Chain A
């Protein structure tokens, strides 16, 4: 996997994307009521390294997230997980599916 910082720059252009604070502890994975194992730490990791292919492969998980924030309120790194998922949805909609901002 080759690190490509362009994806990171694009997704994290807004102040709301703060996945770099992630400590990779796994609390989010353990607490997810949907059992979305891939969310959020691994997906964030793909974004941080600019792995677009992996990000696209996990699109279902990104859109399945309930944004319940169970993970977020328990995150020891203080990551705004739900906001980050939203940022990824915006990216996928705009960049991949060509949906313009309404």
Chain B
């Protein structure tokens, strides 16, 4: 193999730590051999093996070594950077070493865990990876995080219960809120629903109180019949345009955007469990009926004596084409238990049959299920493979089911009203999705970064998702998530500035001849055409760039590179990986 051309090497002072991970690595990789081999590299001035490189004691030793040996680069060979990149960068910073002069080499997931049958092979691979890590570090340069100012204003999209509550929380923190609602009234789904579980307060009362409070705040502006139509900029300073009902567009600059667009009730197809037949309604339709007429229970003028509820309509379906409705909608079992108890308290003679698959009145809502049974509801279980059939003949509605408790024996019920307990479906939000480009899950709801640890953040910095826009939730859960987003937004904006990752693209204007390929490849609009002397070249805005590198591979002149992953670094790493021992 011929040696590739290289820029004259500047000698470096690199330290290497090889971690045993308490046997996770050293059981299958000869860590001492890896250390001894890499120590031969002239740029490596110190090398150690540690039982746990991430332990307090080992970190202390590394800090000391960086200081005493005046290291200008560090390589830790341990686990995945996902686990400890941030740990060792912070450790480097404590020792006075620029954190971007630190390189993590993953010899656990990629060597010891992957090759448990082959100690020699795993050791050889670890050595190649470490050499590549050192080669990468030889090309590092100190980088400073990019500090940018933030605007203390927030755009909240959707004025349902989650958006309203969030607006108040942000207002409490002294942030200005632009609350944008597509329809002509605030309050969302909840406002139409009559009494809510478990408090028995009406949805109108709950949202009405929030709306009144929102209207009284100086720093909340509510825009009805309005939509977000344009977004550019970056975390801390997004430029957005709102189109109002009159057709005007209002330009705003906001530090963060929160999507609280909610859900739409699942709409059964014609004929799905008899939907479309007279006397077959959905749960939200029943709730609206009762909200309008709380005392009497009639349908088309006829008194209702028997109700059949069919659970899990539009939820927990088998996997299929398109949007997946395999999820449980969470709120429906509790809501139905609650509504039937409420009905029985007003109409004790009413018969109610609940045809369910599994009852999921989790947590404290278990008492709603017991309450419904105590009040007189009868629960009958059906199997997923034998769904109930709803039809209508000359005697009226007829529901047939195979009763699981009676070994699948057919049971016929003649109700006056069939209520399809429909779940939550994602809103299509086509215009909004075009503007925001947020990731959407297979279920059609917006997707968070981490379901447990970062539940309201998205992959777009400064854009948060809350409430049922993210997936089925009841009112309490929606409000909890909106308050979570409130605190995340506050943490982001109240400091007055944010720090961005400096590993962004950079154009070498001496090589660039402006062809526009990089600009076309950039999904963030981070590349502008500027004059360099008398020629046109590309220029990257470091605050818009995410360092994703699409421009790098698009450039025919190799004039763009991402800092921390330059062409010379990548080439040096490949050479190190491929180098055969003498």
A interface residues (Cβ-Cβ under 8 A, vs B): 1-3, 5, 8-9, 18, 20-22, 24, 41-42, 45, 48-49, 77
- Chain A minimum-CB-distance residue to B377: A20
Q: For the complex, is B212 an interface residue (Cβ under 8 Å from A)?
A: no
Interface string of B368-407 (1 = CB under 8 A from A): 0010011011101100000000000000000000010110
Using Cβ atoms and an 8 Å threshold, which residues of chain A touch B306? Answer: 5
Interface centre among B306, B353, B378, B405 (most CB of A within 10 A): B378
Measured CA separation A22–B381 after assembly (Å): 13
Q: Which chain B residue has the least Cβ–Cβ distance from A49? A: B411
Identity of the chain B residue whose Cβ is nearest the Cβ of A22 in the assembled complex: B373
Q: Are B378 and A20 in contact (CB under 8 A)?
A: yes
Tell me the bound Cα distance from A80 to B470 in angstroms: 44
Q: A1-B410, A3-B353 provided; 15 other pairs, C-beta below 8 A?
A: A1-B406, A1-B411, A1-B412, A2-B414, A3-B412, A3-B414, A5-B306, A18-B374, A20-B374, A20-B378, A41-B405, A42-B406, A45-B405, A49-B380, A49-B403
Q: Can you list 10 pairs linking A and B with CB atoms under 8 Å apart? A: A1-B411, A3-B414, A5-B306, A18-B374, A20-B377, A22-B373, A24-B381, A45-B405, A45-B406, A77-B373
B406 and A5 within 8 A (CB): no
Structural contact, B370 and A5, CB atoms closer than 8 A? no
In contact, B413 and A3 (Cβ under 8 angstroms) = yes
Q: Do A21 and B378 contact each other (CB < 8 Å), given the known contacts A3-B353, A5-B306?
A: no
Q: How far is the CB of B348 from chain A (nearest CB, A)?
A: 11
Query: Is B351 among interface residues, defined by CB-CB distance under 8 A?
Result: yes
A5 CB contacts on chain B under 8 angstroms: 306, 351
List the B side residues contacting A42 at CB < 8 Å.
Answer: 405-406
**CB-based contact A20/B406 at 8 Å:** no
In the bound complex, what is the Cα–Cα distance between A42 and B413 (angstroms)? 18
A52–B413 CA distance with the chains assembled, in angstroms: 15
The distance in angstroms between the C-alpha atoms of A2 and B409, with both chains bound, is: 11
In the complex, are the beta carbons of A21 and B409 less than 8 A apart?
no
| CA–CA, A8 and B411, complex, Å | 16
Taking CB atoms, residues of chain A closer than 8 Å to B351 are 5, 8
Return A52 CB to nearest CB of chain B, in Å.
14
Residue from B405, B410, B411 in contact with A24 in the complex, judged by beta carbons closer than 8 Å: B405
Whole-angstrom distance from the CB of A49 to the nearest CB of chain B?
A: 6
B377 with A21: CB separation less than 8 A: no
CB-CB nearest 9 A-B residue pairs? A3-B413, A2-B412, A48-B378, A5-B351, A20-B373, A21-B373, A1-B411, A24-B405, A45-B405
> Smallest CB-CB separation from A78: which chain B residue?
B370
Please give, as numbers and ranges, the residues of chain A lying within 8 Å of B353 by CB-CB distance.
Answer: 3
Contacts of B414 in A (CB 8 A): 2-3
What is the bound-complex CA distance between A3 and B410, given in angstroms?
Answer: 10
* Complex-state Cα separation, A5 to B377, whole angstroms: 12
Q: Which of B370, B373, B376, B378 contacts A49 (CB 8 A)?
A: B378
The smallest beta-carbon distance between A100 and chain B, in angstroms, is 26
- State in angstroms the CA–CA spacing of A24 and B358 once bound together: 13
Residues of B within 8 A of A49 (CB): 378, 380, 403, 411
Across the interface, which residues of B come within 8 angstroms of A24, CB to CB? 381, 405
Let me know if B410 and A21 touch, CB within 8 A.
no
| Measured CA separation A21–B405 after assembly (Å) | 15
The answer to whether A21 and B412 touch across the interface, beta carbons within 8 angstroms, is: no
Complex-state Cα separation, A20 to B341, whole angstroms: 13
- A3–chain B nearest beta-carbon distance, Å: 4
Query: How far is B376's CA from A24's CA once the two chains are assembled, in angstroms?
Result: 16
The CA of A5 and the CA of B349, in the complex, are separated in Å by 10
* A3 and B406 contact, Cβ closer than 8 Å, known pairs A21-B370, A49-B378: no
Closest to B369 in A: A23
Measured in the bound complex, the distance between the Cα atoms of B405 and A22 in whole Å is: 12
Please report the C-alpha to C-alpha distance between residue A42 and residue B409 in the assembled complex, in whole angstroms.
13
Which B residues are CB-close (under 8 A) to A8?
351, 378
Min CB distance B365 to A, Å, is 16
Min C-beta distance of A12 to chain B, whole Å: 8
Q: How far is the CB of A14 from chain B (nearest CB, A)?
A: 13
Interface residues of B in 220-256 (CB under 8 A from A): none
Shortest beta-carbon distance, A96 to chain B, in Å?
A: 22
Residues of B within 8 A of A45 (CB): 405-406
- Give 1 or 0 for each of B450-481: 1 = CB within 8 Å of chain A CB: 00000000000000000000000000000000
Please report the C-alpha to C-alpha distance between residue A13 and residue B306 in the assembled complex, in whole angstroms.
17
How far, in angstroms, from A24 to B404 measured CA to CA in the complex?
A: 11
Q: Which residues of B contact A21 (CB under 8 A)?
A: 370, 373-374
Chain B proximity of A47: nearest CB distance (Å): 10
Most B CB contacts (10 A, CB to CB) among A5, A9, A41 go to: A5
B534 to chain A, nearest CB (A): 84
CA gap between A42 and B320 in the complex, in Å: 37
CA A77 to CA B412, docked complex, whole Å: 26
Nearest neighbor of B413 in chain A, beta-carbon distance? A3
